[in-house]
Chains A and B, each alone.
Chain A
Amino acid sequence: MKDGLRIALPKGRLGKKACDILSKIGYGCDEMLEESRKLVFYDQEKGNTYFLVKPSDVATYVEYGAADIGFVGRDILLENRSDVFELCDLGIGKCRICVAGERDFPYHEKKHLKVATIFPNISRDFFLSTGKTVDIISLHGSIEIAPLVKLSDVIVDIVETGATLKENNLTVLEEIFAISARYIANKVSYTYKNREICKIHELLEKVRGEGND
Chain B
Amino acid sequence: MFKKELFTHKEVLSFELRALCSSQGYSLYKMNAFEPYSFYLENIDFLSSKNILYFTDRDGTLMALKPDITLSIIKNLDTAKEKHKLYYSENVYRAPKTSGNFREILQFGVEVIGRLSDEDLFNLIFLAAKSLLVFDDMPVLLVSDNSMIQKMMEKAGLSKLNDRILNAFQNKSLMLLKEVLTDNHADQKDQDILASLLSLHLPLDRGIEKLEKILDGETFRENIEYLKDLNQYLKNQDLNTQVFLDFSIPEGLKYYDRLSFVGVIPGVSSAILRGGEYSNLVKTKEKSYLASGFAIYLEKIGDQGRL
A residues with CB within 8 A of B: 63-65, 83-89, 182, 186-188, 190-192, 194
Contacts and interface: CB of A to CB of B under 8 A. Distances in A.
B178 to A, nearest CB: 10
A64 B170 CA distance: 16
24 contacts: A63-B269, A64-B269, A65-B268, A65-B269, A85-B173, A86-B172, A86-B176, A87-B172, A87-B173, A87-B174, A88-B175, A186-B269, A187-B264, A187-B271, A188-B269, A188-B270, A190-B172, A191-B142, A191-B201, A191-B244, A192-B140, A192-B264, A192-B266, A194-B201
Contacts of A192: 140, 264, 266
Contacts of B265: 188
B248 A85 contact: yes
Contacts of B269: 63-65, 186, 188
Interface in B218-263: 244, 248
B175 A187 contact: no
A187 B262 CA distance: 11
Given A187-B248, A190-B201, A191-B142, A83 B266 contact: no
A85 B171 contact: yes
Contacts of B170: 83
A115 to B, nearest CB: 23
Given A83-B270, A87-B174, 19 more contacts: A63-B270, A65-B270, A83-B171, A85-B172, A86-B171, A88-B175, A182-B175, A187-B248, A187-B264, A187-B270, A187-B271, A188-B264, A188-B266, A190-B172, A190-B201, A191-B244, A191-B264, A192-B266, A194-B201
Contacts of B142: 191
A86 B248 contact: no
B174 A88 contact: yes
Interface residues of B, number: 19
Interface of A is mostly: mixed
Contacts of A187: 248, 264, 270-271
Contact of B271 (A84, A86, A188): A188
Interface in B155-186: 170-176
A88 B248 CA distance: 15
Which of A64, A84, A86, A190: most chain B CB closer than 10 A? Answer: A86
A190 B170 CA distance: 13
Interface string B122-146: 0000000000000000001010000
B171 A188 contact: no
A30 B206 CA distance: 40
Nearest to A205: B174
A192 B140 CA distance: 9
A174 B266 CA distance: 45
Nearest to A81: B97
Contacts of A89: 175
Counting from the closest, the 8 A-B pairs by CB-CB distance are A65-B269, A86-B173, A85-B172, A86-B171, A188-B264, A191-B140, A64-B269, A89-B175
A85 B153 CA distance: 21
A206 to B, nearest CB: 15
Contacts of B266: 188, 192
A177 B191 CA distance: 22
Contacts of A190: 172, 201
A186 B268 CA distance: 11
A68 to B, nearest CB: 10
Contacts of B268: 65, 188
Contact of A86 (B175, B244, B264, B270): B175
A186 B248 CA distance: 12
A139 B264 CA distance: 38
Task: Give the one of B142, B244, B269 with max A CB within 10 A.
Answer: B269
Contacts of B175: 86, 88-89, 182
A86 B142 CA distance: 18
A83 B248 CA distance: 11
A82 B168 CA distance: 13
